Structure 1
Amino acid sequence: MEHLDDELLALLALGERPASAEERLHLDGCHDCATTLDALLNTVYVATLNPDQVPLEVPGSHNWAAIHSALGLSPALAADPLRPPRGGEAPHAEDQPAGDRPSEDRPAGAAGAQWHPAPSNPHPAGRQPGQRHTGQGFPRRGSWILGLAAGVLLGAAGAWTAVTVLGPAQPPVAQPTPSGPTAVLLAEASLAPLAGHSASGSALVEKLPDGSRQLVVSLPEEKLTGFREVWVGSADLSRMVSLGVLGQGTGSFVIPGALDLADYPVLDISDEPYDGDPAHSAESIARGKFAAQG
């Protein structure tokens, strides 16, 4: 006997198209196809029920305790949300009004195929569960359809359970950022452009939580033949100490612990040629003086 195609049975169960007279006749006489369609219709029926009207068995409180621990939820949510109220048991399904229980009626199938209950002898002699006679004895390939449908059903049930127990998703709420040690402003400087240059900027000296100091310099880039180097110098510029290269518009530099800015109150940015000479080039771009803060 040639059986109905697996994809066709899935389409009939989903109501994508009605069954033809020939297909209905085949379903009336073929146990395998009727059983497969019956299982698929069951899956579609359950998956399309209103979950609010499906009586579910209440799990034990130990289940919620395990979920609460695994998710690290707030202690305020420690109580089992499904525990029946004190002084009474949860109502059983048979005690509910008829209007609150899901109907036991099964649809005839939106596909037009009749509902086919499994016969009293579901597995004829020589036929194993899940197999059909194909002339070659191969098992049915419809199991992948049942597996897919079961997966969809389990996913829907899991999502419904999460919404029921944990409640609908709420928009994220900004949490306050823990306040910690912050940098302390020690000094500031305004950088003024020198002859032949136009960029002006600023700088500040901060004391970090670990006790170290850093210099933060902000100076827009300009077209140069060399690179920009950051210096601190004495008031008469007779002594200069390099703190590093300013590669972009802003840079941070560690101030050596033994360096007293009272002895080096001038901040100088120079244009240094690529000549390997570590000394100041005598070509300054911008300059300013530190003003102590606090």
Structure 2
Amino acid sequence: MNRRTIAFFVLSSLFFGGTFVAAKAGLEYFPPLLFVALRFDVAAVVLLSYVLATSTRDDLLPSTRGDVTGIFATGVLVIGLTNALLFVGQQYATSAVAAIVFSLNPILTPVFAAVLLSDERLSARGAIGMGLGLLGVALVVSPDPATLAGGDAVGKAILFAGAISAALGAVLIRRAEPTLTSTVRIAWGLPLAALLTHGFAWSAGESTATIAWTPAAVLSLGYVAVVAGVLAYIAYFALLDSAGAIRSNLVFYVVPVVSTIGGWALLGESIAPLAVVGFLTIFAGFAVLGTESIDVRPRLPDLPARFRTIEDQPPQEEPRGFRSD
């Protein structure tokens, strides 16, 4: 992973993590599904205006089946359906339970990748790193075991379906190998997501008459629409193109960390000591994953001789006048 990929990972984590803080503030003023739909309305207008001004006609039009599949997976699965299920599921489960269930996304991604992709497989070290990451998320959100085991099974099922949608969509995009840039795919996908979530809001009986238009409502909508609805998805889908589905979806391990810190800094929420242990555990998981492709052997000649194994010692010339067996 180069610096550009790491930058996309960090930005995706920060922008998506801030979504939960802004959404928690905005849900006081908006019905949940309508909040998501309006978010995508604004995001679609902003991004479409940008790509129309900066792209040629050939750059904008889908030309292959992979482009069409990529647009569908982006708009319907990764953006629209995932967010709709997440917001609906949170009505029936606590935020801690929602974070745990949705953090199964990185675990589900290798399952779909094993079936649909030939160039992405999860190694034993990768499995250990993901396991540490999931454990870290559990420590960060610190759910009540009774709440996690009990509660409304429907809410957990809806959240799990959202995690499945996000994981499947990411893998399908990689399988499709679209020729359109990730930014153009998002510009096509956001209107699809808006139509889908407006349909859900209408079927749920949500109305714009119930919205309380306050400065705080406008600010929260602006964040989830522009920062989390445009910038975050640009960074995430660029990360998906460069790093693959398995590594890209690891951002969902960092998102609870960012949202926890953001809630503490902006909303006055407390951070439990166990959450700090969770942060370190997630970091350990990423350290395991990050060292998977690092080969230290080329650096061995630069190390002192006492640190080398016998196999790593350079061959030595035999003393003159002697002959080996």
* TM-score, normalised via structure 1 length: 0.22
Higher relative contact order (CA 8 A, sep 6+): 2
Give the number of the structure whose alpha-carbon radius of gyration is greater: 1
| TM-score, with length taken from structure 2 | 0.20
Which has more helix, going by share of residues? 2
